[in-house]
Structure 1
Amino acid sequence: MNKQIISFPKNGKPTLIANEWQVWDGERDEGGIPDLEHGFHKVLVPFHWWRIHNPAHHQNADVIDKASKGEIGVWFAADDDILKHADIIEAGKPLWPVVGAHFPIFRDGRSFSTAALLRDRFDWQGEVRAIGDVLIDQLLQGARVGFDAFELRPDQNPDIALKQFDLFSVVTQNSWRDQRATIAA
Protein backbone atom coordinates (compact mmCIF):
# COMPACT_ATOMS: atom_id res chain seq x y z
CA MET A 1 0.00 0.00 0.00
CA ASN A 2 1.47 3.30 -1.06
CA LYS A 3 1.57 6.27 1.28
CA GLN A 4 1.54 8.61 -1.72
CA ILE A 5 -0.27 8.68 -5.04
CA ILE A 6 0.05 10.78 -8.14
CA SER A 7 -2.82 13.24 -8.46
CA PHE A 8 -3.31 14.76 -11.91
CA PRO A 9 -6.55 16.78 -11.96
CA LYS A 10 -7.98 17.58 -15.36
CA ASN A 11 -6.90 21.23 -15.33
CA GLY A 12 -3.92 20.87 -13.02
CA LYS A 13 -0.39 19.58 -12.82
CA PRO A 14 0.63 16.11 -11.67
CA THR A 15 1.80 16.06 -8.05
CA LEU A 16 2.45 13.59 -5.29
CA ILE A 17 -0.15 13.71 -2.53
CA ALA A 18 -0.85 11.66 0.58
CA ASN A 19 -2.90 8.54 -0.03
CA GLU A 20 -5.96 8.64 2.23
CA TRP A 21 -7.62 5.53 0.79
CA GLN A 22 -7.12 1.89 1.66
CA VAL A 23 -8.03 -0.54 -1.11
CA TRP A 24 -9.92 -3.47 0.36
CA ASP A 25 -10.35 -6.76 -1.50
CA GLY A 26 -13.64 -7.69 0.19
CA GLU A 27 -12.30 -10.97 1.53
CA ARG A 28 -13.09 -12.18 5.04
CA ASP A 29 -16.32 -10.23 4.81
CA GLU A 30 -18.76 -10.48 7.68
CA GLY A 31 -21.08 -7.86 6.22
CA GLY A 32 -19.03 -4.84 7.22
CA ILE A 33 -15.98 -3.01 6.02
CA PRO A 34 -12.51 -3.73 7.37
CA ASP A 35 -10.78 -2.12 10.29
CA LEU A 36 -8.71 0.48 8.52
CA GLU A 37 -4.97 0.13 8.86
CA HIS A 38 -2.01 2.52 8.97
CA GLY A 39 -3.98 5.70 9.64
CA PHE A 40 -6.33 5.36 6.67
CA HIS A 41 -9.87 6.62 7.26
CA LYS A 42 -11.37 5.97 3.87
CA VAL A 43 -11.85 2.71 2.02
CA LEU A 44 -12.32 1.62 -1.59
CA VAL A 45 -14.51 -1.46 -1.60
CA PRO A 46 -14.91 -3.85 -4.53
CA PHE A 47 -17.89 -2.98 -6.72
CA HIS A 48 -19.22 -6.54 -6.39
CA TRP A 49 -19.22 -6.05 -2.58
CA TRP A 50 -21.00 -2.69 -2.89
CA ARG A 51 -23.75 -4.24 -5.02
CA ILE A 52 -24.57 -6.52 -2.10
CA HIS A 53 -23.82 -4.29 0.90
CA ASN A 54 -24.67 -0.75 -0.14
CA PRO A 55 -26.62 1.38 2.34
CA ALA A 56 -29.82 1.22 0.30
CA HIS A 57 -29.97 -2.56 0.73
CA HIS A 58 -28.04 -3.14 3.92
CA GLN A 59 -28.47 -1.91 7.46
CA ASN A 60 -24.87 -2.09 8.67
CA ALA A 61 -24.42 1.12 10.69
CA ASP A 62 -20.69 1.38 9.91
CA VAL A 63 -21.31 1.19 6.15
CA ILE A 64 -24.14 3.74 6.32
CA ASP A 65 -22.06 6.12 8.45
CA LYS A 66 -18.94 5.96 6.28
CA ALA A 67 -20.93 6.26 3.04
CA SER A 68 -22.76 9.33 4.33
CA LYS A 69 -19.41 10.95 5.22
CA GLY A 70 -17.90 10.25 1.78
CA GLU A 71 -15.46 7.74 3.24
CA ILE A 72 -16.39 4.84 0.97
CA GLY A 73 -15.54 4.60 -2.69
CA VAL A 74 -15.61 1.61 -4.99
CA TRP A 75 -13.12 -0.08 -7.26
CA PHE A 76 -13.97 -1.97 -10.40
CA ALA A 77 -12.29 -5.23 -11.31
CA ALA A 78 -11.04 -5.51 -14.88
CA ASP A 79 -13.87 -7.91 -15.71
CA ASP A 80 -16.71 -5.89 -14.12
CA ASP A 81 -19.35 -5.04 -16.73
CA ILE A 82 -20.09 -1.48 -15.66
CA LEU A 83 -22.63 -0.89 -18.42
CA LYS A 84 -24.69 -3.80 -17.08
CA HIS A 85 -24.87 -2.07 -13.69
CA ALA A 86 -25.45 1.51 -14.86
CA ASP A 87 -28.31 2.00 -12.37
CA ILE A 88 -26.09 1.15 -9.40
CA ILE A 89 -23.32 3.42 -10.67
CA GLU A 90 -25.73 6.31 -11.21
CA ALA A 91 -27.07 5.83 -7.66
CA GLY A 92 -23.51 5.70 -6.31
CA LYS A 93 -22.28 8.88 -8.02
CA PRO A 94 -23.42 11.21 -5.22
CA LEU A 95 -21.91 8.90 -2.57
CA TRP A 96 -18.51 7.92 -3.97
CA PRO A 97 -15.86 10.62 -4.01
CA VAL A 98 -13.37 8.17 -5.57
CA VAL A 99 -13.67 5.20 -7.89
CA GLY A 100 -10.80 2.94 -8.76
CA ALA A 101 -10.15 0.74 -11.75
CA HIS A 102 -7.97 -2.25 -10.97
CA PHE A 103 -5.16 -3.52 -13.19
CA PRO A 104 -4.67 -7.16 -12.16
CA ILE A 105 -1.50 -7.28 -14.26
CA PHE A 106 0.12 -4.47 -16.25
CA ARG A 107 -0.58 -6.06 -19.62
CA ASP A 108 -4.34 -6.27 -18.97
CA GLY A 109 -5.72 -3.02 -20.35
CA ARG A 110 -9.42 -3.48 -19.67
CA SER A 111 -9.33 -0.90 -16.89
CA PHE A 112 -8.45 1.80 -19.46
CA SER A 113 -11.89 1.12 -20.95
CA THR A 114 -13.49 1.35 -17.52
CA ALA A 115 -12.01 4.83 -16.98
CA ALA A 116 -13.10 5.98 -20.44
CA LEU A 117 -16.65 4.67 -19.91
CA LEU A 118 -16.90 6.34 -16.51
CA ARG A 119 -15.89 9.70 -17.98
CA ASP A 120 -17.76 9.50 -21.30
CA ARG A 121 -20.92 7.49 -20.66
CA PHE A 122 -21.45 8.16 -16.96
CA ASP A 123 -20.11 11.73 -16.98
CA TRP A 124 -18.11 10.91 -13.87
CA GLN A 125 -16.72 14.12 -12.37
CA GLY A 126 -15.03 12.65 -9.28
CA GLU A 127 -11.61 11.04 -9.01
CA VAL A 128 -10.87 7.97 -11.12
CA ARG A 129 -7.86 6.18 -9.67
CA ALA A 130 -5.70 3.50 -11.30
CA ILE A 131 -4.90 0.78 -8.75
CA GLY A 132 -3.20 -2.59 -8.80
CA ASP A 133 -0.29 -3.41 -11.09
CA VAL A 134 0.15 0.20 -12.25
CA LEU A 135 3.46 0.97 -13.94
CA ILE A 136 5.08 4.22 -14.99
CA ASP A 137 4.63 3.14 -18.62
CA GLN A 138 0.83 3.36 -18.26
CA LEU A 139 0.55 6.90 -16.92
CA LEU A 140 0.26 8.90 -20.15
CA GLN A 141 -2.34 6.57 -21.65
CA GLY A 142 -4.24 6.52 -18.37
CA ALA A 143 -4.28 10.31 -18.13
CA ARG A 144 -5.69 10.56 -21.67
CA VAL A 145 -8.59 8.15 -21.11
CA GLY A 146 -9.79 9.58 -17.80
CA PHE A 147 -7.60 8.62 -14.86
CA ASP A 148 -6.68 11.55 -12.66
CA ALA A 149 -4.97 9.61 -9.87
CA PHE A 150 -2.49 6.75 -9.91
CA GLU A 151 -1.49 4.41 -7.11
CA LEU A 152 1.73 2.98 -8.49
CA ARG A 153 2.98 -0.52 -7.89
CA PRO A 154 5.35 -0.31 -4.87
CA ASP A 155 8.51 -0.92 -6.94
CA GLN A 156 7.85 2.11 -9.17
CA ASN A 157 9.68 5.37 -8.44
CA PRO A 158 7.17 8.21 -7.99
CA ASP A 159 9.75 10.91 -8.84
CA ILE A 160 10.46 9.28 -12.20
CA ALA A 161 6.73 8.76 -12.70
CA LEU A 162 6.03 12.48 -12.38
CA LYS A 163 8.50 13.20 -15.19
CA GLN A 164 6.50 10.99 -17.60
CA PHE A 165 3.85 13.67 -18.00
CA ASP A 166 6.41 16.06 -19.54
CA LEU A 167 7.67 13.67 -22.23
CA PHE A 168 5.46 14.98 -25.03
CA SER A 169 4.38 18.54 -25.70
CA VAL A 170 1.90 17.69 -28.48
CA VAL A 171 -0.93 15.17 -28.29
CA THR A 172 -2.60 14.27 -31.59
CA GLN A 173 -5.13 11.80 -30.21
CA ASN A 174 -8.47 12.52 -28.60
CA SER A 175 -8.21 12.90 -24.87
CA TRP A 176 -10.49 13.29 -21.88
CA ARG A 177 -8.25 16.24 -20.99
CA ASP A 178 -9.01 18.10 -24.25
CA GLN A 179 -5.35 18.64 -25.05
CA ARG A 180 -5.49 17.49 -28.64
CA ALA A 181 -3.29 19.53 -30.90
CA THR A 182 -3.55 19.89 -34.65
CA ILE A 183 -0.50 20.03 -36.82
CA ALA A 184 -0.53 22.88 -39.32
CA ALA A 185 -0.06 21.84 -42.93
Structure 2
Amino acid sequence: MSQLNITSHAEILHFPKDGKPALAPNEWQVWGGSQDEGGLPDLEHGAHKVLVPFTWWLEHHHEADIASKATNGQIGVWFATDDDILKHADVIEAGKKVWPLVAAHFPIFRDGRSFSTAALLRDRFQWQGEIRAIGDVLIDQLLQGARVGFDSFALRPDQKLDVALKQFNLYSVTTQNSWRGLRTTRTAQAALDA
Protein backbone atom coordinates (compact mmCIF):
# COMPACT_ATOMS: atom_id res chain seq x y z
CA MET A 1 0.00 0.00 0.00
CA SER A 2 1.21 3.48 -0.70
CA GLN A 3 1.73 6.20 1.85
CA LEU A 4 -1.49 8.09 2.51
CA ASN A 5 -1.68 11.27 4.51
CA ILE A 6 -5.21 12.40 5.30
CA THR A 7 -5.41 15.63 7.23
CA SER A 8 -8.39 17.44 8.66
CA HIS A 9 -9.40 19.88 11.37
CA ALA A 10 -8.99 18.96 15.03
CA GLU A 11 -12.79 19.01 15.14
CA ILE A 12 -15.31 17.18 13.02
CA LEU A 13 -18.75 18.32 11.99
CA HIS A 14 -21.17 15.84 13.54
CA PHE A 15 -24.75 15.78 12.23
CA PRO A 16 -26.72 12.88 13.72
CA LYS A 17 -29.83 11.75 11.85
CA ASP A 18 -32.30 13.16 14.36
CA GLY A 19 -30.11 15.91 15.77
CA LYS A 20 -28.57 19.24 14.97
CA PRO A 21 -25.13 19.79 13.42
CA ALA A 22 -22.38 20.54 15.94
CA LEU A 23 -18.62 20.48 16.20
CA ALA A 24 -17.00 17.66 18.15
CA PRO A 25 -13.39 16.69 18.85
CA ASN A 26 -11.84 14.48 16.18
CA GLU A 27 -10.68 11.51 18.25
CA TRP A 28 -9.81 9.31 15.28
CA GLN A 29 -6.47 9.00 13.54
CA VAL A 30 -6.72 7.90 9.90
CA TRP A 31 -4.02 5.36 9.13
CA GLY A 32 -2.92 4.62 5.57
CA GLY A 33 -2.01 1.02 6.34
CA SER A 34 1.51 1.25 4.96
CA GLN A 35 3.89 -1.46 6.10
CA ASP A 36 6.58 1.24 6.08
CA GLU A 37 4.83 2.78 9.07
CA GLY A 38 5.74 -0.22 11.23
CA GLY A 39 2.29 -1.75 11.55
CA LEU A 40 -0.78 -0.55 13.39
CA PRO A 41 -0.19 2.76 15.21
CA ASP A 42 0.42 2.58 18.97
CA LEU A 43 -3.00 2.93 20.57
CA GLU A 44 -1.67 3.04 24.12
CA HIS A 45 0.05 6.40 23.68
CA GLY A 46 -1.11 9.38 21.63
CA ALA A 47 -4.20 8.73 19.51
CA HIS A 48 -6.24 5.97 21.10
CA LYS A 49 -8.56 5.35 18.16
CA VAL A 50 -7.60 4.55 14.59
CA LEU A 51 -9.39 4.09 11.28
CA VAL A 52 -7.66 1.38 9.26
CA PRO A 53 -8.09 0.76 5.52
CA PHE A 54 -10.76 -1.82 4.72
CA THR A 55 -8.21 -3.76 2.65
CA TRP A 56 -5.94 -3.95 5.73
CA TRP A 57 -8.90 -5.09 7.85
CA LEU A 58 -9.59 -7.90 5.37
CA GLU A 59 -6.07 -9.22 5.95
CA HIS A 60 -5.89 -8.78 9.72
CA HIS A 61 -9.38 -8.98 11.26
CA HIS A 62 -8.91 -12.60 12.35
CA GLU A 63 -6.01 -11.64 14.64
CA ALA A 64 -7.16 -11.73 18.27
CA ASP A 65 -5.47 -8.43 19.16
CA ILE A 66 -7.10 -6.59 16.24
CA ALA A 67 -10.57 -8.04 16.93
CA SER A 68 -10.22 -7.13 20.62
CA LYS A 69 -9.25 -3.54 19.87
CA ALA A 70 -12.17 -3.16 17.47
CA THR A 71 -14.59 -4.58 20.04
CA ASN A 72 -13.16 -2.11 22.59
CA GLY A 73 -13.96 0.80 20.25
CA GLN A 74 -10.36 1.53 19.25
CA ILE A 75 -10.43 0.40 15.61
CA GLY A 76 -12.83 1.39 12.85
CA VAL A 77 -12.39 1.10 9.10
CA TRP A 78 -12.29 3.46 6.16
CA PHE A 79 -13.27 2.55 2.62
CA ALA A 80 -11.31 3.63 -0.42
CA THR A 81 -13.27 4.64 -3.51
CA ASP A 82 -12.45 1.38 -5.26
CA ASP A 83 -13.28 -0.99 -2.37
CA ASP A 84 -15.99 -3.41 -3.48
CA ILE A 85 -18.07 -3.57 -0.32
CA LEU A 86 -20.78 -5.68 -1.96
CA LYS A 87 -18.18 -8.37 -2.69
CA HIS A 88 -17.39 -8.47 1.04
CA ALA A 89 -20.94 -8.34 2.42
CA ASP A 90 -20.14 -10.98 5.04
CA VAL A 91 -17.26 -8.89 6.40
CA ILE A 92 -19.46 -5.77 6.48
CA GLU A 93 -22.19 -7.66 8.34
CA ALA A 94 -19.67 -8.91 10.91
CA GLY A 95 -18.16 -5.42 11.13
CA LYS A 96 -21.53 -3.97 12.13
CA LYS A 97 -21.08 -5.72 15.48
CA VAL A 98 -17.58 -4.36 16.22
CA TRP A 99 -16.79 -1.18 14.27
CA PRO A 100 -17.62 1.94 16.28
CA LEU A 101 -17.09 4.10 13.18
CA VAL A 102 -16.67 3.65 9.44
CA ALA A 103 -15.48 6.28 7.00
CA ALA A 104 -15.46 6.74 3.25
CA HIS A 105 -12.48 8.48 1.68
CA PHE A 106 -12.72 11.24 -0.91
CA PRO A 107 -9.30 11.26 -2.66
CA ILE A 108 -10.35 14.43 -4.50
CA PHE A 109 -13.56 16.39 -4.11
CA ARG A 110 -14.61 15.71 -7.72
CA ASP A 111 -14.68 11.95 -7.10
CA GLY A 112 -18.17 11.13 -5.81
CA ARG A 113 -17.85 7.36 -5.46
CA SER A 114 -17.77 7.64 -1.66
CA PHE A 115 -21.32 9.03 -1.73
CA SER A 116 -22.33 5.65 -3.18
CA THR A 117 -20.42 3.84 -0.44
CA ALA A 118 -22.36 5.70 2.26
CA ALA A 119 -25.67 5.07 0.48
CA LEU A 120 -24.93 1.34 0.16
CA LEU A 121 -23.97 1.10 3.82
CA ARG A 122 -27.21 2.78 4.90
CA ASP A 123 -29.60 1.17 2.39
CA ARG A 124 -28.28 -2.32 1.67
CA PHE A 125 -26.44 -3.02 4.90
CA GLN A 126 -28.75 -1.07 7.22
CA TRP A 127 -25.71 0.46 8.91
CA GLN A 128 -26.93 2.32 12.00
CA GLY A 129 -23.56 3.57 13.28
CA GLU A 130 -21.58 6.64 12.36
CA ILE A 131 -20.33 7.12 8.80
CA ARG A 132 -17.68 9.80 8.38
CA ALA A 133 -16.52 11.55 5.21
CA ILE A 134 -12.72 11.87 5.18
CA GLY A 135 -10.12 13.16 2.74
CA ASP A 136 -10.73 16.02 0.35
CA VAL A 137 -14.03 16.98 2.02
CA LEU A 138 -15.33 20.45 1.18
CA ILE A 139 -18.22 22.51 2.50
CA ASP A 140 -19.91 22.08 -0.89
CA GLN A 141 -20.28 18.34 -0.24
CA LEU A 142 -22.04 18.53 3.11
CA LEU A 143 -25.70 18.63 2.00
CA GLN A 144 -25.28 15.79 -0.49
CA GLY A 145 -23.31 13.80 2.05
CA ALA A 146 -25.94 14.27 4.74
CA ARG A 147 -28.65 13.08 2.33
CA VAL A 148 -26.95 9.81 1.41
CA GLY A 149 -25.96 8.76 4.91
CA PHE A 150 -22.91 10.59 6.23
CA ASP A 151 -23.41 11.87 9.74
CA SER A 152 -19.94 13.23 10.39
CA PHE A 153 -17.46 15.10 8.26
CA ALA A 154 -13.70 15.55 8.72
CA LEU A 155 -13.34 18.67 6.60
CA ARG A 156 -10.17 19.59 4.77
CA PRO A 157 -8.06 21.96 6.94
CA ASP A 158 -8.66 25.02 4.73
CA GLN A 159 -12.46 24.79 5.13
CA LYS A 160 -14.13 27.17 7.62
CA LEU A 161 -15.99 25.23 10.30
CA ASP A 162 -18.29 28.14 11.22
CA VAL A 163 -19.44 28.37 7.59
CA ALA A 164 -19.82 24.59 7.42
CA LEU A 165 -22.20 24.57 10.38
CA LYS A 166 -24.55 26.96 8.58
CA GLN A 167 -24.89 24.81 5.45
CA PHE A 168 -27.64 22.65 6.87
CA ASN A 169 -29.93 25.64 7.45
CA LEU A 170 -29.78 26.98 3.90
CA TYR A 171 -32.92 25.23 2.68
CA SER A 172 -36.24 24.70 4.42
CA VAL A 173 -37.72 22.38 1.76
CA THR A 174 -36.30 19.01 0.80
CA THR A 175 -37.18 17.95 -2.73
CA GLN A 176 -35.63 14.48 -2.62
CA ASN A 177 -36.02 11.49 -0.33
CA SER A 178 -32.93 10.79 1.68
CA TRP A 179 -31.52 8.68 4.47
CA ARG A 180 -32.62 11.43 6.87
CA GLY A 181 -36.27 11.23 5.90
CA LEU A 182 -38.82 11.80 3.22
CA ARG A 183 -38.91 14.92 1.13
CA THR A 184 -41.09 17.83 2.18
CA THR A 185 -44.64 17.01 1.16
CA ARG A 186 -46.68 19.65 -0.55
CA THR A 187 -49.40 18.94 -3.00
CA ALA A 188 -49.16 20.44 -6.45
CA GLN A 189 -52.23 22.56 -5.74
CA ALA A 190 -50.72 23.91 -2.51
CA ALA A 191 -47.60 24.86 -4.44
CA LEU A 192 -49.71 26.69 -7.02
CA ASP A 193 -51.71 28.46 -4.33
CA ALA A 194 -48.56 29.68 -2.57
TM-score range with shorter-chain normalisation?
Answer: over 0.9
How many angstroms apart in 1 are the aligned matches of 2:43 and 2:35? Answer: 14
Matched, 1:9 2:53: no
The DSSP-based 3-state class of the residue aligned with 2:132 is: strand
Cα deviation 1:120-152 (Å, max 9, x = unaligned): 000000000000000000000000000000000
- The match for 2:163 among 148, 160, 163 is 160
Pair 1:53 & 2:56 matched: no
**1:38 & 1:172 partners in 2: Cα distance?**
47
1:98–1:126 contact (8 Å) kept in structure 2: yes
> What residue in structure 1 maps to residue 92 of structure 2?
89
1:37 to partner: Cα distance: 10
- How many residue pairs match? The answer is 181
Partner in structure 2 of residue 126 of structure 1: 129
TM-score (norm 1): 0.92
SS class of match (1:65): helix
Q: Percent identity?
A: 72
* Alpha-carbon distance change, 38 to 103 in structure 1, aligned in 2, over 3 angstroms: farther
Which structure would you say has the larger Rg? 2
State TM-score, norm by structure 2. Answer: 0.88
Contact 1:24/1:43 (8 A) holds in 2: yes
| Residue 21 to residue 83, structure 1, CA distance change in 2 (3 Å) | same
SS of 1:140's partner is helix
Distance of 2:137 and 2:166 partners within structure 1:
16
Q: Structure 2 vs 1, CA of residues 139 and 22 (structure 1 numbering), >3 Å: closer, same or farther?
A: same
Q: What is the match of residue 105 of structure 1?
A: 108
Question: Hey, what's the Cα distance between the residues in 2 that align with 1:91 and 1:143?
Answer: 25
8 Å CA contact retained: 1:31, 1:53: no
Q: For structure 1, which runs of at least 5 residues remain unmatched after alignment?
A: none
The question of whether the paired residues in 2 share the 8 Å contact of 1:9 and 1:148 is answered with yes
Deviation at 1:30, TM superposition (A): 7.5
Distance 2:44 2:168 in 1: 31
Amino acid at match of 2:131: V
For 1:152 and 1:161, the matched residues in 2 are separated by 9
Cα distance between partner residues in 1 of 2:126 and 2:146: 16
Unaligned runs of 5+ in 2: 1-6, 190-194
Is the aligned partner of 1:73 residue 2:87?
no
User: How far apart are residue 31 of structure 1 and its match?
Assistant: 7.8
